[in-house]
Structure 1
Amino acid sequence: MYDVAIVGAGPVGLFLACELGLAGRSVLVLEREPESRSRWKEAPLGMRGLSAASVEAFYRRGMLRPLLTASGVDDAPGTHSDTDEPSPPRSVGHFAGMMLDPADVDVTALPFRMPSPAPEGLMTNLAAVETVLAERAVRLGVEIRRGVPVSAVTQDDDGVVAQAGEHAYPARWLVGCDGGRSTVRGLTGFDFVGTEPRFTGYAVLAAIADPEKLRPGFNATPTGMYLRTPAREYIGMMDFDGGAFDRSKPLTREHLQTVLRRVSGTDVTLEEVHRASSFTDRAMQTTTYRQGRVLLAGDAAHIHSPLGGQGLNLGIGDAMNLGWKLAATVHGHAPDGLLDTYTRERRPIGASVLDWSRAQVAAMGPDPHARAVRGVMRDLIGTRDGTTYVFRRTSGTYNRYDLGSEHPLVGRDAPDLRLEDGTRLADLMRDGRGVALDLGTGRSLHGPATGWASRIRYAAGPAGNPLGLGAVLVRPDGTVAWAADGDPDHTEFEEAADRWFGTADSGERA
């Protein structure tokens, strides 16, 4: 019996597998597709933007450099790892098709961030992400089986069985990471609620006879919106038809040309369609991310339109949050209720992203109300405060979990603190353990921290620390679990460590 079976070998399933493998758990990944390679995962249709939080996740696990290489990026643009001065991001993206200038991000208004070797965002593609993660998973002992479509899931108090044809795959826990049309979600009875679509969207790679008829960039029209990228053969379209197009039908050149002409208001001609896919802005979320021994992550737990490119990032955040908690539960040292915090922490983040997507759709429509909203939003995001607000909402690093502490850093993504010897917080997190940093005398936490030696890495010494911290406890997912300004209180530290890492062996405590 495996410790954990994961259904779905996309980025979310593979990232979760890496987290569990790093913790020494036995992991089986079941993927319905027989081959990992697909032209849909390559540029341009497979292009994806990783947010600051997602890049941090790769950085903290030592996978940033392989990801940059696989993505064709020679260096991490915007990196200033040897300075304490913050720098603006290289890209902020758009809101409802209105592009933002990264130079307008006010970095002084972004608290709790410090310069890091990880860039504040990265353009990559699904093929690169999956290649890096799959190679890492295999090195960690994860077993990946492809061409295995799961047809049934049964569970009891002792474990879960995933059935695929005549083969049964037993595990102690099962996680569905199998996308927006999740088989696991349907088989196990998760409630999936939300809002129905307002548009049908299309991503098209085609030869265009007269590309000069289409303006570059996002273009809102009286009948919809279209996007023409610098790669002239790539076109995005949003047809506000209430999601009426039957997406089970093939996407013919004639249909796509009809939609493009209607949405663009031109008589543009598509000579040949190389590849095309459709999507909607249907926004749905499960009411819980756990049913017994079955959990969901990524699009299996929440779907929304691809506007703003937050779907992949949301899923990576799920995997990072769930991985260490599930590993601790399997190992047997998890404190009571630890696994329940997965839904409690991640579901509000998912709901926020769904609302962000809905807000963009509301501003992109062709009706007068949408045009009025778009005008107001254009004025707002044209300001420095507005651009900074959008970056905070989309970067992922400014999410905050409610961990019951008044300290402003607790529940947030940890800054990449750097000790005097050059060691960074991320360097200490590569093995997947939590980190206790004693930034004062170097003696305050030494005794108590040894009680969790297998679960918490301890480091001490002065640091480049403009935040004035005396000590900080960081969970394996990079979230600050406890922090102290000035000299830390031993009792408070031990209570926080017990809460998140389980009671330490009293014989090991100093």
Structure 2
Amino acid sequence: MTTTQGTEQGTEYDVVVAGAGPVGLFLAGELRLGGALRVLVVERLPEVDETIKAGWINHPSAVALNRRGLLPELAAVREAVQERLRAFQDLKDGDENNNGDRDGGGGTNQRPRIAGHFAGIMLDPELFDASGPEWADADPAAGHGLLMPQAELERALGRWAERLGVEVRRGVELTGFTEEADGVAVQLDGRTVRAGWLVGCDGGRSTVRRLAGFAFPGTAPEITGYQALVELSGAERLKAGWNTTDVGTYVHGPFPGRILTVEFDSPPADRYAPVTAEELEASLRRVSGVPEVRVTGVRTATRFTDNARQATEYRRGRVLLAGDAAHVHSPFGGQGLNLGLGDALNLGWKLAAVVGGRAPESLLDTYTAERHPIGAWVLDWTRAQIALMRPDRHARALRRVVEDLAGSGAGTTYLVNRISGVWQRYDLPGSHPLTGASAPDLPLSDGTRLGEHLHTGRPLLLDLTGSPAPDTLTAPYADRLTVLTTTCLTRPTLRALLVRPDGFVAWAADTDGEEKEDEDGLAAALERWVGRSGAGARALTRG
């Protein structure tokens, strides 16, 4: 770490976030909603990165965006994506693989229009059963997931963060920092700002992670992959969708000019060197076996590998990690962006509560405890797909077994549920089945849904019996807790829910429960998750 030199006057921050990608911007917005007054985001790149990256947000991510009121703003982007899909479908009319990456959309009681894929094994939407408990009272606006180019999501989150009062500096690089007893001195292109906390959202090659000394174990890369938007000629014999060959895997679509190739000979010698048209063309010809295909222009291109690593902890003192800074893996299954957004949603309100003096620093220990297991699952989920995509005979034999399983209703439903992320929950104190799960998006008697009451990022106590919780329990939290008394027809036995700012259920009770036991459980949950009451807590000013 570098040493502190000449702190700037008047530029102290509660939190500095390194990285203005979707994860950093979402985290910054969550910090502001939670009451952190001074949040600075610094980004090395001067503009939004247009390189083709993630293009799909899963169910939990779509739910989180909707609970912050952001999905309507993204409706036009979604429609533009649909138009591009239709254009490619018209071009490849009749190809049965063409529906492989189509938008899920629709309500939770309808089959998604696509089921997705696992290691390029296409899943038949007609085999998917959405009647399981995972989809009960799920947010209908989120559907199965949404196609959303990462650059467009980044722009939308940037506008949201700006509206909330986040300061974003682009073209500024974090070059070092020094952790002190009461904060962090952060060097930005040779100048120094002081902050209470530093969060690295600065990608797989995170400077913050490296300088802070986080352990980052995992598995080494085996593959070279390319993803690009290009201009093609001689592509008539390229099959649409995911295709496995004797050499590797290639993808054509779901948009005109989008290609992806995977070869298993070795990782790239220089992953970050500029990707040329000749390089893309050679890989596409090798993998597809179509020698006449030509790449005549490159709009955007990137290399990727299956390097899979995860920080052993997400916090060291006053330095934390989120997104790719905390975990890297291959892109298969579209989990990376979604994993990072989940990190930001989990961390933002907790760090804001600590900054505001409403919670002890020990609350931050729950960030690693809750998010690390989901990150570990994602790494193994992507490793399993790499194993099935290898061109050797053993892997191909195993692939045929998995194809048979994926061709069944039970197999498709299992895989779709895992891909969608609808299964994700946290191990929280309490015995009610809803505790630790994402809150059901209950339709309420006033015509609203539960998710609409989470736009402000405040915890919500939802009473469904018409008998509000005792004032002695809720009064100490009046400045930071929304209490809503209403009814719901779809869950007649559900009495009440305490929903954390991230939308997860911290406590729940049914109508047949013991009143004293339920009150004790609610009191403990309020103290644990809503924070300290009375003196010492900083006001939640958002101006």
Question: What TM-score range do you get, normalising by the shorter chain?
Answer: over 0.9
Q: Distance in 1 between matches of 2:366 and 2:218?
A: 22
Distance 1:99 1:197 in 2: 25
Tell me what 2:89 maps to.
none
Decide whether the 8 Å contact of 1:283 with 1:305 is kept in 2. yes
1:306 aligns with 2:331: yes
* Partners of 2:134 and 2:422 within 8 A in 1: no
Which 5+ residue runs of structure 1 have no aligned equivalent?
none
> Where in structure 2 are the equivalents of 1:171-210 lying within 5 Å?
171-210=195-234
- CA separation in 2, counterparts of 1:99 and 1:51? 17
* 2:96 maps to 1:89: no
Aligned to 2:301: 276
Partner of 1:495: 524
- Quick check: 1:471 aligned with 2:496? yes
Q: Distance in 1 between matches of 2:471 and 2:444?
A: 16
| Residue in 1 that maps onto 2:365 | 340
Tell me which moved more, 440-449 or 186-195: 440-449
On the 8 A contact 1:112/1:467 being kept in 2, the answer is no
2:134 is paired with a residue whose SS is coil
Aligned counterparts of 2:415 and 2:408: Cα–Cα separation in 1: 11
Unaligned runs of 5+ in 2: 1-11, 83-102, 536-543
In the other structure, the counterpart of 1:19 is 30
* Partner AA of 2:318 in structure 1: R
- Map of 2:9 onto structure 1: none
Aligned pairs (5 A) from 1:70-469: 70-72=77-79, 78-80=105-107, 86-111=109-134, 113-120=136-143, 121-274=145-298, 275-335=300-360, 337-445=362-470, 447-466=472-491, 468-469=493-494
Match of 2:44 among 32, 42, 53: 32
- Paired residues of 2:13 and 2:39 also in contact (CA < 8 A): yes
Opposite residue 265 of structure 2, the aligned amino acid is D
Segment drifting more, 368-377 vs 349-358? 368-377
In the alignment, residue 107 of structure 1 is paired with which amino acid? A
Matched, 1:50 2:87: no
What is the letter of the counterpart of residue 430 of structure 1? H
3-state SS of the aligned residue for 2:228? strand
CA contact (8 A) 2:473 2:523 kept: yes
Which secondary structure state, in structure 2, belongs to the residue aligned with residue 226 of structure 1?
strand
Deviation at 1:429, TM superposition (A): 0.8
* CA distance in 2 between partners of 1:405 and 1:154 (Å): 40
For 2:201, the aligned partner's letter is C
User: Aligned AA for 1:30?
Assistant: V
- Residue by residue over 1:27-67, the C-alpha shift from the partner in whole angstroms, topping out at 9 and shown as x without a partner, is 0000001123x432xxxx35511111001111111111012
2:174 partner SS: coil
Aligned 8 A contact 1:173 1:294 in 2: yes
Contact 1:204 1:273 in 2 (8 A): no
- Residue 65 (1) aligns with residue 72 (2): yes
For residues 115 and 337 of structure 2, the distance between their equivalents in structure 1, rounded to whole angstroms, comes to: 16
Q: Would the alpha carbon gap of residues 370 and 163 (structure 1) be closer, same or farther in structure 2, given more than 3 Å must change?
A: same
Structure-2 separation of matches of 1:443 and 1:247: 58
Larger mean Cα displacement after TM superposition, 380-389 or 271-280: 271-280
| Higher RCO (C-alpha under 8 Å, 6+ residues apart) | 2
1:4 to 2:15 alignment: yes
Matched residues in 2 for 1:71 and 1:107: separation?
A: 23
Preserved CA contact (<8 Å) 2:222 2:305:
yes
The answer (yes or no) to whether the contact 1:302–1:350 under 8 Å persists in 2 is yes
What amino acid is the match of 1:342?
Answer: Y
Q: Distance in 1 between matches of 2:527 and 2:159?
A: 34
Distance (Å, rounded) in 2 between the aligned partners of 1:366 and 1:332: 55
| 8 A contact 1:86–1:114 mirrored in 2 | no
Q: Which moved more, 1:52-61 or 1:126-135?
A: 126-135
Q: SS of the residue aligned with 1:412?
A: coil
Look up the SS of the partner of 1:366 in the other structure: coil
| CA gap 1:378/1:177 in 2 versus in 1, 3 angstroms | same
Alpha-carbon offset, residue 188 of structure 1: 1.0
- Cα drift, residue 87 of structure 1: 2.6
Q: What do residues 119-153 of structure 1 show as CA deviations (whole Å, max 9, x unaligned)?
A: 22111112221111111111111100011011101
Please, which moves more after superposition, 377-386 or 258-267?
A: 258-267
In the alignment, the residues of structure 1 paired with residue 455 and residue 322 of structure 2 have an alpha-carbon distance, to the nearest angstrom, of: 22
Query: What residue identity is the alignment partner of 1:34?
Result: P
Q: CA deviation at 1:116?
A: 3.0
Deviation by residue 1:393-418 (Cα, 9 ceiling, x = unmatched): 12223212111333221111111112
Whether the aligned pair in 1 keeps the contact of 2:434 and 2:505 (CA below 8 Å) is yes
CA distance in 2, matches of 1:254, 1:134: 35
For 1:446 and 1:74, locate their aligned partners in 2 and report how far apart those are by CA, in whole Å. Answer: 49
Paired residue type of 1:257: E
Q: Does the CA contact (< 8 Å) of 1:101 and 1:387 recur in 2?
A: yes
Q: Are the structure 2 counterparts of residues 271 and 137 from structure 1 closer, same or farther at C-alpha, using a change threshold of 3 Å?
A: closer
Instruction: Tell me which amino acid in the other structure corresponds to 2:109.
Output: P
8 Å Cα contact 2:278/2:295 also seen in 1: no
Contact 1:105 1:388 in 2 (8 A): yes
Amino acid at match of 2:228: V
TM-score normalised by L of structure 2: 0.87
CA contact (8 A) 2:22 2:154 kept: yes
What is the deviation of 1:376? 1.2
Q: Distance in 1 between matches of 2:275 and 2:361?
A: 51
Q: Deviations over 1:327-386 (max 9, x none)?
A: 000001114621110001001000000100001111011011111121111111111111
- Asked if 2 retains the 8 angstrom alpha-carbon contact of 1:86 and 1:115, the reply is no
Whether the 8 Å contact between 1:4 and 1:28 is mirrored in structure 2 is yes
